[in-house]
Amino acid sequence: MEKVKTDKREFIKYSTLGVLGLVLGGGMIFSPYVLKAENRLRPPGAVDEKKFLALCIKCGQCLQVCPYHSIKLTDMAHGHGIGTPYIDADERACYACNAVPCVLACPSGALDHHCEKPEDIRMGIAVLEFPDTCLAISKTPIPKGFNDKMHKYTNSVVNIHELEEKLLEKFDQFEGKACTLCADMCPIPNPLSAIEMVADSGGGQRPEIYSGCIGCGACQDVCPTTIASIVVKPRMTYDEYYSNKK
């Protein structure tokens, strides 16, 4: 009889825990935070987000071949696509490699193999989000230490690739000059199709974005202001963002 009571107590205890677990688990699964649409830069060639999440097998092949160490895998703090690759342009953008090796390495179709060259990439669109802080508009020279973030990131990786070193060499030469970094560091073969410094009404200059922008985020990465003045809107096209603004 005592055994039956004990079993009953155990049953009630574990049932309660089970229900609690379901409620908490359900809360996790259905919480607006976890369900919110991913809005991040995906690697070149990424198919639409829903399809991407279904196809990506989280193998990490794309990040292993990236010479700039641009691709990371999401963790719990980054939403429901845990383990999927993304790019944080504030840390290290995509630098649009010639043969787009990340796409070639993808075995699942999550990165579409039709994306064969830099011009085929369409990750988003650059936007001068904070013109008030742009050094070109305020005619402020690029300050000393502007390159600390980029060097720190490069020094944190295990195998620094020669392309990263070349990128830093080019970048370091801008100290003290008028800021044209976003335009001059744009990595695509024809950067003028994407971005150009134009005269600003205040006597300085400002970056103008064109439809050739591939949304690689390099301009955001190299922008020396504390919070990048120019940012990439993930997955947005030039027409979607600019058609009503110009």
Q: Compute the least distance from the CB of residue 88 to ligand SF4, in Å.
A: 12
What is the C-alpha separation between 66 and 107, in angstroms, rounded?
A: 15
Which ranges of 129-173 does DSSP label H, i.e. alpha helix?
148-156, 162-172
Q: How far is the CB of 187 from ligand SF4 (least distance, A)?
A: 6
Side-chain half-sphere exposure of 234, counting CA atoms within 13 A: 19
Nearest one of 44, 57, 45, 116 to 83, comparing CA atoms: 57
Q: Least distance to ligand SF4 from the beta carbon of 114, Å?
A: 14
128 strand-pairing partners: 230
| Inter-helix orientation angle 148-156/162-172, to 10° | 170
Sign of CA dihedral 24, 26, 29, 33: negative
Which bin fits 136, alpha (ψ -120 to 50), beta or left (φ > 0)? alpha
Nearer to ligand SF4, 49 or 119 (CB): 119
Nearest-5° Cα angle at 99, 96 to 104: 105
CB-wise, 38 or 122, nearer to ligand SF4?
A: 122
3-state helix, strand, coil in the chain (%, to 5): 40, 15, 50
Least Å from the CB of residue 242 to ligand SF4: 12
Residue 38 or residue 205: which is nearer to ligand SF4 going by CB? Answer: 205
Q: Which is nearer to ligand SF4, 94 or 110 (CB)?
A: 94
194 vs 236, beta carbon nearer ligand SF4: 194
Sign of CA dihedral 164, 170, 175, 180: negative
- Minimum distance from residue 51 beta carbon to ligand SF4 (Å): 19
Nearer to ligand SF4, 181 or 236 (CB): 181
Binding site for ligand SF4 (CB under 6 A): 43-44, 65-66, 68, 70-71, 94-97, 100-102, 126, 128, 134-136, 179, 181-182, 186, 188, 194-195, 207, 209, 213-219, 223, 225, 229-230, 232
CB of 91 to ligand SF4, least distance (A): 13
